[in-house]
Amino acid sequence: MEANFHIRLATTEDLPRVLALDRATESTPHWPAAEYMAALQAHRCLFVAETQTTPHLAGFAAGRITVIGTGGATADSAELESVAVAAASRRKGVGRALCRAVIDWAIRHGAPAIDLEVRSRGEGPIALYRQLGFVVVGRRVNYYRDPPDDALLMRLEPGTAGAPGASV
Per-residue pLDDT tens over the stretch 7-62: 999 999 999 999 999 999 887 878 888 888 888 887 899 999 999 876 789 999 99
Residue 55 belongs to some domain of the structure? yes
Give the integer Cα–Cα distance in Å for 23 and 46: 16
Per-residue pLDDT tens over the stretch 63-118: 999 877 666 556 688 999 999 999 989 999 999 999 999 999 999 988 999 999 99
pTM for the model: 0.86
Domain that holds residue 34: 5-116
40: domain CATH number? 3.40.630.30
Domains identified in the chain, total number: 1
Q: How many CB atoms lie within 10 A of CB 78?
A: 27
Residue 131 belongs to some domain of the structure? no
Residue 69 belongs to some domain of the structure? yes
Give the integer Cα–Cα distance in Å for 78 and 161: 19
Residue 80 belongs to some domain of the structure? yes
